[in-house]
Amino acid sequence: MTEKNKARSAVLLGNFFFGTSVIAVKHISPSLIHPVALATIRITVASFLFWALYVFRPVKTGIVRKDYLRLFFCAMAGIAINQSFSMRGMSLTSPIHASLLVLTTPITITFLAAWFLKESLTPLKLIGLFCGISGGALLIFSRDLSSQAGGQQSLGDSFVIMGAIGYSIYVISIKPLMAKYRATHILQWVFLFGSFVMLPLGWQDLRHVSWQAFDGISWFSLSYIVIGSTFLGYQLMNYGISKLGAAVTGSYIYTQPFFATIASMLLLNETLSLPKIAAAILIMSGVFLSNYKSRNTQELQPPLQGGDK
């Protein structure tokens, strides 16, 4: 297998982790663990694992002192705000809705780049923004009778979008640092600062976790979220960026709703409805149109993905 094929496989596996982790979140949250407590565990353990890599493979980071403040701000937006809202949203909405709404991240980045970085909004980008916003609105205001999310689905959808906005602010803010430092070093510091913020916020919720109620599947779900969709997922995406570039790696975000939909239909008995299909077409078209130039130029591409996740 060639290096590029290995990288493609790695990126595909990373997006598989991101897309299907919503199923794991719904299995344990909020029934067994509060979403903020889950986000705290995810960030804190991942931070420990990222720094463990540094201990075994020490490399001088060379972070300039003035850049630590920007890293802290990025941690607030991309870790604390993103994860707090995303975990809460995933616990309330359906996995299909969550995975589709995560796709609004590149659209939000395009809008924020035009606002703060004065990047031009071409007619295609404007059409893309309109399509993406329309698709998101369609999901939020449509009632999904097949979903197990319940009556708080619209609130969950809104939280997922808030998480996407937090991550988009992170991408805009981190761009100058991505040109100066390795992605691994940025991950280490962002997650470390994020854990400093999340531990006080989630401490009370962590104290009330019903650990004795966790069965084997629950522990597997927690491990899948922390190790699979966070530690391994981000490492796989970084490997893809190093071999394929940010633009190609970012394009694989389209696979997340596919993985989430298949898993939801198999494990949660959810069905594809006309509003979901229409919203998917609108959102994916919006992402494509708003980032059309990324085929030739590597503009604002998320250094971490998941979003968010």
pLDDT tens track, the chain, 309 positions: 788 899 999 999 999 999 999 999 999 998 999 999 999 999 999 999 999 988 887 777 678 989 999 999 999 998 999 999 999 999 888 888 888 888 888 888 888 878 777 777 788 888 988 898 898 888 877 765 545 555 678 888 899 999 989 988 988 888 888 888 888 888 899 999 999 999 999 999 999 998 999 999 999 999 999 999 999 998 898 888 778 877 677 778 888 888 988 998 888 888 878 888 898 899 888 888 877 764 444 444 444 455 555
Residue 121 structure tokens:
């909004």
Phi, psi (degrees; rounded to nearest 5) at 29: -130, 130
* CA distances (Å), origin 169, targets 92, 201, 225, 303: 23, 21, 23, 12
Task: Indicate the pTM of the whole model.
Answer: 0.84
CA–CA distance, 165 with 123 (Å, rounded to integer): 22
Give me the pLDDT at residue 293, please. 61
Amino acid at position 164, single letter: A
Q: What is the CA radius of gyration of the chain?
A: 18
Would you state the pLDDT for residue 220? 97
| Phi/psi of residue 157, nearest 5 degrees | -60, -45
Domain positions in the chain are 3-295
Distance (Å, whole) CA 257 – CA 148: 17
* DSSP state letter for 137: H
Q: What is the pLDDT of residue 306?
A: 52
What is the pLDDT, as a whole number, of residue 197?
94
DSSP H helical ranges for the chain? 3-28, 35-56, 67-75, 82-92, 95-102, 104-116, 123-141, 153-178, 183-207, 216-223, 233-244, 246-251, 255-267, 274-290
Token digits of residue 203 = 């401490």
Q: In 67-94, which positions are buried (b, 16+ CB within 10 angstroms) versus exposed (e)?
A: beeebbebbbbbbbbbbbbbbbbbbbbb
Burial 216-239 (b: 16+ CB within 10 A, else e): eebeebbebbbbbbbbbbbbbbbb
